[in-house]
Amino acid sequence: MNTYIVMLSFTEAGIATIKDSPGRSAQMSALFEKHGARIRDYYLTMGDEDFMVLFEAKDDKTMAKMLFEIGRLGAVRTRTMRAFSRQEFKEIVDELPQKSIFADLKDAMDKHA
């Protein structure tokens, strides 16, 4: 499962129905599970965003669909980042060649600097 960090901000409609927010979240969790995704955790935040949710989905397409469905509700606006675990990070770095694929380009740029 892929991990996604989603920052959410309430819209005017979301604030107007804030008392319904916990119920919407519970319903959303159940629907996500049916469609190959899940809410791993969420936090009320202070600052530019109102809360942060950690989602997991089987792939980017599934997550995009879920975000569109969240948007359709009209209660929040979202900003999403794909997150990679430590193991995924290690695998990505391990797959890099020893010498940068841009090494020759960098050398040429350094000669002209």
**pLDDT tens, position by position, 96-106:** 988 888 877 77
Q: How far apart are CA 20 and CA 71, in angstroms?
A: 16
**pLDDT tens, position by position, 4-63:** 999 999 999 999 999 998 888 888 888 899 999 999 999 999 999 999 999 999 999 999
Residue 40's identity, in one-letter code, is: R
In Å, what is the CA distance from 82 to each residue of 1, 40, 99, 100, 111?
Answer: 11, 14, 27, 24, 37
- Which domains are present in the chain? 2-85 (3.30.70.920)
